[in-house]
Amino acid sequence: MVTTLYLIRHGGTEGADAERYKGHIDVPLSEKGIQQMERLAEYISAEATSKLSAVYCSDLVRAVKSAEIIAGPYSIEPVAVKAFRERNFGIWEGMSFDEIKEKYPEEFNAWANNPLEFSPMQGENTLEVRDRAINALDEILKHPVFVGRGSGGKVKAGIQDTGRNRLVPRYRIVKIMNHASCIVNLITLQ
């Protein structure tokens, strides 16, 4: 049996034009973000080769609302999984790139030199995000049927890091597309 995953980033959020790291800050979708998800839901309904059987998302309101819109045509309730949250940027959350660079120059340089392993104070590094997301995905994949949604960036970190990558032998990326300004990764598992 082949399982297909659609890894979808949530729609645009309120205040996105300010370009601040949101991480675990719970920000709602903007009207534009809702429209993006509605267009994406129509696209998936038209293009999917089979009916979605499950929809998973982080527990943040922007992801839950996005998942509800995607799941709507299938009359299924999304399952919120805390481990699928965005990266926790700790004390950097709510700050812009320039503000971080100005207020924390040494930490910023450490992050720029080692973005996978550096973690802002009270935050987490990319490898920690990858591990928690992949562990949660591994748990979900124990079920016989799964089609999920979550932040593509988290799982892609697991795909691209060959050091501790547990999922690579079991799946391949079929297509990466940008539809309605939302990133969609289509992955099959053998």
Catalytic site residues? 10, 86
Within 34-158, strands assigned E span 56-57, 79-80
Reduced to 3 states (helix: H, G, I; strand: E, B; else coil), residue 2 is coil
